Amino acid sequence: MPVQANPLIKTLALSPRRRLAPPAPARRLMAAVRCSVAKRTYNITLLPGDGIGPEVVAVAKDVLSLAGALEGVEFRFQEKLMGGAALDAYGVPLPEETLAAAQASDAVLLGAIGGYKWDNNEKHLKPETGLLQIRAGLGVFANLRPAAVLPQLVDASTLKKEVAEGVDIMVVRELTGGIYFGQPRGFGTNDKGDDTGFNTEVYSVSEIDRIAHVAFEVARKRRRKLCSVDKANVLEASMLWRKRVTSLASEFPDIELSHMYVDNAAMQLIRNPKQFDTIVTNNIFGDILSDEASMLTGSIGMLPSASVGESGPGLFEPIHGSAPDIAGQDKANPLATILSAAMLLRYGLGEENAAKRVEAAVTETLNNGFRTGDIYSPGTTLVGCKRMGEEVLKTVESQSAVAVNS
């Protein structure tokens, strides 16, 4: 029976840790594929990071390898340090060696960064600074965050079933501009002698236009509805944002464009989330709204993300944090990282069939009742990170080409 595709992902046409060994039948199948299919080879940089990052990346790596092999794809992996792990080893959150390796690869898979150990560091020595640096270094300006309520997990949402059921949203967030990067910024003193802190929200026409084009294309591959979120009643940067997005709409006459103030959008995501299809917004609003949208699904442990640019490798990562409280305890949910690997296959490498294999395997594993603690409910089978990965691998192995390609 064909496996239903995972609605978390929609197609967009954009140009030495111990590994979990695949089961013996999978190894035999991989050998057969290697003999019969011309390989395509890609270089992938793995950034396990901190906390649960190494655990979930190790699982995703195995799933990525198996799904790729079944489609004639071979990966060359290299692991590099980033975040707190890099701070401990090199004294900086993003070593030059790590950035150079990422830039030279075909795609980058990141686990998670951060932890209590480094919370009191100065800003330039915080793990999160490394994340901002690698985004800038790779030139990834568009962050795609799907938030879909899977039928198997609708009861995990904190919203009423009739509100949460059927929610399927893609948030397109501008990633390298706005108040997180704008100048001037810093600390000072006002004319009353009070200490001040200041940041600058600034966007250029070219920055707005390129993220808007991505968002219109995403909407075109979905349900052809795009909502641009801003604060144009107060902020000049938002006034320019709305003007440019509106002007570009003529290039996409098949897309229904609407606008919404960010405060109203935050409310509507809870009140009536099914009204949204694709949302495009600036860096800080996207940071907040995408986290809010993620919780509609019941667990951020299920949600992937992709960050892409005009050229060069993309950055793919789960949206959850490093969860230091459960690190090393085999309790982490690896599915968001596995689905991030699927986004890597689709958006980073253009390997659509391999991406579908991964997504279908996640859906089937959930259909089979396996759950990590964050999504567990009575009547399902509680498993750890490694076991969840094993079950996904089994499902990838058992898929037929007809089911995946249908």
- The structural domains of the chain, with segments of one domain joined by +, span 41-146+301-405, 154-298
State the virtual CA torsion across 266, 158, 144, 207 in degrees, nearest 10: 10
Give yes or no: 374 in active site.
Answer: no
CA distance 304 to 321: 12
Q: What percent of the chain has pLDDT over 70?
A: 89
Is 263 labeled as catalytic in the residue annotation? yes
**8 Å CB contact between 276 and 296:** no
Residue 156's pLDDT is 81
Catalytic residue among 180, 209, 225, 261: 180
Q: Is 277 a known active-site residue?
A: no
Residues in the chain: 406
Residue 299 pLDDT class (50, 70, 90 cuts): confident
**Which CATH number is correct for 41-146+301-405, 1.10.20.10, 3.40.718.10, 2.160.20.10, 3.40.50.970?**
3.40.718.10
**Averaged over 62-91, what is the pLDDT?**
97
Mean pLDDT of 292-311: 88
Determine whether 50 is an active site residue: no
Q: Evaluate the CA torsion angle 70, 75, 80, 83 in order and state its sign.
A: negative
Mean pLDDT of 9-21: 39
Report whether pLDDT(26) > 70.
no
Catalytic residue among 61, 80, 126, 231: 231
Query: What would the mean pLDDT of 236-244 be, rounded to a whole number?
Result: 98
Question: Parallel, antiparallel, or unpaired: how do β-strands 304-308 and 314-318 relate?
Answer: antiparallel
**Res 314 pLDDT > 50:** yes
Instruction: Answer whether CATH 3.30.410.40 is correct for domain 154-298.
Output: no
pTM of structure: 0.82
Q: How many CB atoms lie within 10 A of CB 249?
A: 15
Share of the chain above pLDDT 90, in %: 78
CA 114, CA 98: separation in Å to the nearest integer?
Answer: 17
Q: Give me the catalytic one of 117, 261, 274, 291.
A: 291
**Amino acid letter at 52?**
I
Question: What pLDDT is attached to residue 294?
Answer: 84
* pLDDT tens digits, one per residue of 244-296: 999 999 999 999 999 999 999 999 999 999 999 999 999 999 999 998 998 88
Residue pointed to by tokens 């009739």:
162
CA distance 60 to 46: 10
> Is 119 a catalytic site residue?
no
What is the pLDDT averaged over residues 169-176? 95
Average pLDDT over residues 19-39: 46
Q: Do 41-146+301-405 and 154-298 fold alike per CATH?
A: yes
Report the pLDDT value the prediction gives residue 38, as an integer from 0 to 100: 63
The per-residue pLDDT of the chain, averaged, comes to: 89
Catalytic pick from 230, 287, 331, 374?
287
pLDDT for residue 27: 46
**Cα–chain-centroid distance for residue 362?**
16
pLDDT at 234 over 80: yes
pLDDT band for position 121 (cuts 50, 70, 90) = very high
